Amino acid sequence: MFPGQGAQHRGMGKELFEKYNGLVQLASGILGYSIADLCLYDKDNNLGKTQYTQPALYVVNTLSYLDYNEKNPADQYYVVGHSLGEYNALLAAGVFDFETGLRIVMKRAALFSNIKSGGMLAVIDCPDAYTLEKILLPSVDVANYNSDRQVILSGLVNDLKLVEQACKENGIKSMLLNVNGPFHSRYMAPVKQEFHSYLTNFTFKQPVRNVVSNYNSVLYGPNNITDCLTQQIASPVQWKQAMYLLFDRGVTDFVELGPGKVLSKLLVVNQECYASKAAACRPGHREDTTLPGIVSSLGSKSFKSRYRTPYAYVAGGMYKGISSENLVTRMANAGFLSFLGSGGLAIQTIEASIDAIRKKLQPAKIFGINFLHNPLDPDAEVALAALLIKKEVRIIEASAFANATAGLVFFRLKGLRLDEKRVPVSSNFIIAKLSRPEVASVFLSPPPVHIVENLVRRGLLSQEEGALAPYVSLASDITIEADSGGHTDRGVAFILIPAIAILRDQYTKRFNYTESVHIGAAGGIGTPSAIAAAFMMGVDYVLTGSVNQCTVEAGTSHAVKDLLSQMNIQDTAYAPAGDMFELGAKVQVLKKGVLFPNRANKLFELYKNFDSLEDIDLSTRTMLEEKYFGKTIADVWNETRQYLLSDKAELLQKIESSPKLKMAALFKWYFHKSTQYSLEGNIAHKMDFQIHCGAALGSFNQWVAGTELENWEKRHVDEIALKLLSEAQKIFDKK
């Protein structure tokens, strides 16, 4: 373990500078000043200044590592570093050499020092997340999740002082840190692009040891180094999560190198907390008898009333029918709200699925349809909305939207009326799934006037329905999606939930809504503890996704379920989204046992770096044909062209006029095929399976290890929901 900024002190490295004089002289030449004099004497009091602190720590950490490694060669299976220390971890893993690392750290330190208007505050032994939310200001970010007993906040100095006072009033220990910037927060965003551009000047090697990223607690590979180091600047350090990952993998021996023992002290705290949680959550004591039903006090009564369900638990829609007819039917008949995964399905298929589900439903049971944004064909959204209105499907789950669209507004407002008390009453409900405050603002606002007026002119809405639009929000409810399977912004629930809940309250007051807008939590919901934590944060309901994908009822192949049932929390990666390939949007996918994420990222790298297929060198094109496509590029293009010609002739014309777009269309063939292979369970293409999945399933697999549910063939989506809720209720009641 390598410490970061804050571990520095005068005299550090004293016993090492003479031993490694060659490196010391090299560092001094690069830096333009004596690194030994700075660390040992600090006559000008520069050691505490960021532009000096970070290079100094990097050098001393490196020398400490070299000294340790001489005596204990090759005994490190994992290397980790806190913030700046992560660069030493990458050095120890052979990603770059000493000089390269120092030059990168110099650049990082210079950029950090340019952000001066802020600071950091340590909050110690805060009793729970709810209390932390109360004392946080909207302008203050969590910068370090160091342990269950310590978080570091970043923000403007005056705001931090207000939080410090709030801590004092609530009996919580806090302390302003001796740093001159709001590191690892939104305030660092202005320097991210410059740092990213600087990193592109270097070629990084495959790590020879496992390095856990501060940014997202995944292992570094050759394809995520630039991204993780860039994101680390303005994102919280997930130190506790990194430690828990190592504990989960059975790591017991830790050595801190460099000055001080800051991380060693945190290690003791995290080990104690982890052991306590492991004892509380051990699955061995659970009864595996099927629960016919439970009485749950968790969640919002008004949410349950609105959707006629006893449970504040929703099964989200997974595309291409993975949230299948069988899944939706089973959940609905058990009393749960769930959504058919209609994304990527033809409208005729969706209609047939609605009819099939209705035939199997018990009386008064309800279900919804996932409504996936279609930016290339907005009329298709309107057509789907019209179908759902015709079929009297009253609930949709709006996914991947950034703005209001005609399809959404049409669905939401159709049937809107005044009751006998002259209060607007909705017929249709939109549960918007989102992860950005600016998108939340769109859904918390009334439908845009220009869209409403256009729908009225087209005769899709009546004059009365249009006139009532200002009195309802576009979304009935909002599911806040933290880092999840499929499309993801890699959000952190502890940050997103309070921020968007505040927006909800502000917009409700501003527009004087009479209907409540409920807040739900999604992403990372895989264990009773996660569900209990979400409700402790004040959400009205929870929504699960990945855990439902590995059930008997899920509409994917047995081969995929076999892979998913064996995954752990570290077994996912980020890859380009095939439906938004050109935009660089990301999806979270399974990486264990497949090569899809590596290959998908390679395709996007080629797309970024070249203007046409012809610009790519022959050896790379041959590799694509032999290993990725399994056929010639010409054959792939012919297939792509025939598909576009039959369904999207105008788009084809546009693509054929642009070599760049043609390259993208050809690469997107691979994304389509990789999804098809996984849904069909085509073992011949197992390495290319594209399986959208979040780490929640890994935590679920751990929770059920050693029980009957370890085998996915024993997992039924409604029984899982009941077990999770039942155990979450027990945890919640204890708190």
CATH code, domain carrying 199? 3.40.366.10
pLDDT at 124: 92
Say if residue 279's pLDDT is above 90: no
- Does residue 122 share a domain with residue 107? no
- Give the residue among 168, 170, 174 at the shortest CA–CA distance from 131: 170
Considering 556, 585, 615, which residue would you say is the last residue of a domain?
556
Instruction: State whether residue 696 is helix, strand or coil.
Output: helix
* pLDDT tens string 474-521: 999 999 999 988 888 888 999 999 999 999 999 999 999 999 999 999
Inside any domain, residue 696? no
Say if residue 558's pLDDT is above 80: yes
pLDDT at 503: 97
Say if residue 248's pLDDT is above 90: no
- CB of 240 within 8 A of CB of 267? no
Inside any domain, residue 719? no
- Does residue 413 share a domain with residue 495? yes
Phi–psi pair at 673, nearest 5 degrees: -65, -40
Inside any domain, residue 707? no
pLDDT at 294: 47
Which residue in the list 64, 82, 83, 678 is annotated as catalytic? Answer: 83
Say if residue 16's pLDDT is above 50: yes
- CB of 152 within 8 A of CB of 177? yes
In this prediction, residues 445-470 reach a mean pLDDT of: 96
Considering 556, 588, 613, which residue would you say is the last residue of a domain?
556
- What does the angle CA 384 – CA 389 – CA 393 come to, to the nearest 5 degrees? 95
Say if residue 74's pLDDT is above 70: no
Confidence of residue 286 (pLDDT cuts 50, 70, 90): very low
pLDDT at 652: 85
H or E segment to which residue 45 belongs: none
Considering 182, 200, 229, which residue would you say is the last residue of a domain?
182
- Does residue 143 share a domain with residue 41? no
Higher pLDDT, 97 or 126: 97
Percent of the chain with pLDDT over 70: 96
- Does residue 518 share a domain with residue 592? no
pLDDT at 278: 58
Say if residue 522's pLDDT is above 60: yes
Confidence of residue 308 (pLDDT cuts 50, 70, 90): confident
pLDDT at 222: 75
Confidence of residue 284 (pLDDT cuts 50, 70, 90): very low
- Does residue 164 share a domain with residue 103? no
Inside any domain, residue 714? no
Confidence of residue 547 (pLDDT cuts 50, 70, 90): very high
Confidence of residue 128 (pLDDT cuts 50, 70, 90): low
- Does residue 505 share a domain with residue 382? yes
- Does residue 578 share a domain with residue 644? yes
Exposure on the CB side of residue 584, measured as CA atoms within 13 A:
5
pLDDT at 221: 80
Say if residue 570's pLDDT is above 50: yes
Range of the domain at 455: 301-556
> For the stretch 528-553, what's the b/e string if a residue is b when 16 or more beta carbons lie within 10 angstroms of its beta carbon?
bbbbbbbbebebbbbbbbbbbbbbeb
* pLDDT tens string 662-719: 999 999 999 999 999 999 999 999 999 999 999 999 999 999 999 989 999 999 999 9
pLDDT at 290: 33
H helices of 72-210, in order, are 85-92, 98-114, 129-135, 157-169, 192-199
Radius of gyration of the chain (CA): 27
154 tagged catalytic: no
Say if residue 277's pLDDT is above 70: no
Inside any domain, residue 733? no
Say if residue 332's pLDDT is above 50: yes
pLDDT at 310: 87
699 tagged catalytic: no
In sequence order, what are the residues at sequence separation of 6 or more whose Cβ sits closer than 8 angstroms to the Cβ of residue 6? 177, 178, 179, 262
- Does residue 327 share a domain with residue 455? yes
Say if residue 91's pLDDT is above 50: yes
Report the distance separating Cα 58 and Cα 52, nearest Å.
10
CATH code: domain of residue 148: 3.30.70.250
Say if residue 292's pLDDT is above 50: no
Report the distance separating Cα 3 and Cα 8, nearest Å.
9
pLDDT at 296: 64
- pTM of the full structure: 0.60
- Does residue 102 share a domain with residue 210? yes
Inside any domain, residue 718? no
CATH code: domain of residue 335: 3.20.20.70
- Does residue 353 share a domain with residue 380? yes
Dihedral angle, C-alpha 651, 654, 655, 656, nearest 10 °: 120
Count, residues in the chain: 735
Burial of 580 (0-12, 13-18, 19+ CB in 10 A): middle
Higher pLDDT, 218 or 92: 92
Inside any domain, residue 704? no
- What does the angle CA 398 – CA 696 – CA 546 come to, to the nearest 5 degrees? 45
Which residue in the list 82, 184, 487, 692 is annotated as catalytic? Answer: 184
Higher pLDDT, 413 or 136: 413
Higher pLDDT, 279 or 482: 482
Say if residue 174's pLDDT is above 70: yes
Higher pLDDT, 210 or 278: 210
- Does residue 539 share a domain with residue 452? yes
Query: In angstroms, what CA-CA distances link 358 with 332, 333, 340, 398, 411?
Result: 10, 11, 12, 21, 20
Structural domains counted in the chain: 4
101-115, 219-233, 599-613: least confident range? 219-233
- Does residue 546 share a domain with residue 413? yes
314-318, 354-358, 582-586: least confident range? 582-586
Say if residue 649's pLDDT is above 90: no
pLDDT at 718: 92
Mean pLDDT of the chain: 91
- Give the residue among 661, 670, 674, 668 at the shortest CA–CA distance from 613: 661
Inside any domain, residue 722? no
- CB of 340 within 8 A of CB of 391? no
